[in-house]
Amino acid sequence: MRKKSLKYYLMALVLIQWASFSIIFQNKKWIEQVLHHFSFPYTKAMVKLTNGVLFPLGELFYALIIAIVAVIIYGLIQGFRLKRQRLLSNSMVFFLVFINAAYFIYSMVWGIHYHKDTIVENHVKVKIEVNNLKKLYCSNLDKAIELRSTLQHTENEPLHFKLTDTEYQQIFLSTQRQLNRIAFIKNYQFIKNPHYKYSHISMFQNYLGILGYYNPFSAEANINGYNTDLKKGITIFHEYAHQMGFASESEANFISYYIAIHSGYNTIAYSAYYKSLFSLLAAIQKQDPLFVKSEIENLHSLIQRDRQEERRYYEKYTGKVNDGFSHLNDQFLKANAQEGTASYSHYIELIYRLEFNP
């Protein structure tokens, strides 16, 4: 009888949590309270704890979660199959305890970031006409060409930047304060001890199309160890942006872009402009495909060379697994009120706003 009552209490608690967070997520003041009294302090504490360990502790955590879920599912199946009421009841209780704990921690630590205001609105609707998109593209293209002409490369190989892990961390540490210059972003925290780790499932991530990921539970920025140098720096800064509190993929991309172009390193700045070029072309494609076709066919020879090398490298890992994961990730982002992976138009709006201050 006690177990039966406990199950009902736990099921009710799931509903109460869902209703409570739904209300909290609608109230800006309550969101601010959770951010500054729980989420940010939690992240700072976890960074101090996990930075001293080279191994991504979050991957151990995920492995433990998978093991717990497997045990619970096994118990439920055995309980049904063997008609063992006690095993079935215990497994159900463990399942409900797990759901309650996981939902609470996720919502407080990370889910809250999807509902906060990170961008200060200036009450002017940013509608970027295609001609302005082209203007922004040409501006980024000129900068990319200028920077690319300063970089050396080896024939038939992707660009190599010759930067150490420590240098990437120092670049971010010394550059992040420049975000204070951007008047239209808020609700983030600076990182005192930036530190990223190489994922132990990097090769598997290649087949999923993952360049890196942020683990909100352990507050770790994890990087795919097989990224090209052209992708590495901006991916590191992207994951650091998540650590700072930018949950949106578009906003994390923008922070990465800003840090990279102000890094003082031509290599990293070029990688940011290189990425933005193709994001802008994708946005222009919807309105002027002939312009995009012409630009792709007439790209600067060195940028075209980099594009071909990047495609040659990453095409080895594309396939159905990659497509399947992209779809799942797209649905996850949309479930959290984000744009999804199919469209990062907000990223374009942010770099447009940075460039032209509409």
pLDDT in tens, the chain (358 residues): 455 677 778 888 888 888 988 898 999 999 999 999 999 999 999 999 898 888 898 888 889 989 988 988 888 888 777 777 777 777 788 888 888 898 999 999 999 999 998 887 664 555 788 899 999 999 999 999 999 999 988 777 778 888 999 999 999 999 999 999 998 899 999 999 889 999 988 887 877 888 999 999 999 999 998 889 999 999 999 999 999 999 999 999 999 999 999 999 999 999 999 999 999 998 898 889 999 999 999 999 999 999 988 888 888 776 543 443 333 334 333 434 444 433 337 899 899 989 887 5
Strand-pair partners of 220: 215
Tokens describing residue 84 = 């063992």
Cα separation of 269 and 235, whole Å?
Answer: 13
Cα dihedral sign, 300-209-241-236 = negative
Cα separation of 190 and 187, whole Å?
Answer: 10
Cα dihedral sign, 296-141-260-152 = positive
Query: Cα-flanking dihedrals φ and ψ of residue 156, to 5°?
Result: 60, 25
Residue 205 exposure: Cα atoms within 13 Å on the Cβ side: 16
Give the E-state strand segments of the chain in sequence order. Answer: 196-198, 212-215, 220-223
- Model's pTM, two decimal places? 0.85
In the 8-state DSSP scheme, what is residue 65?
H
**What is the bridge-based pairing of β-strands 220-223 and 212-215?**
antiparallel
For the chain, give percent helix, strand, coil, nearest 5: 70, 5, 25
Other C-beta atoms lying within 10 Å of the C-beta of residue 296: 13
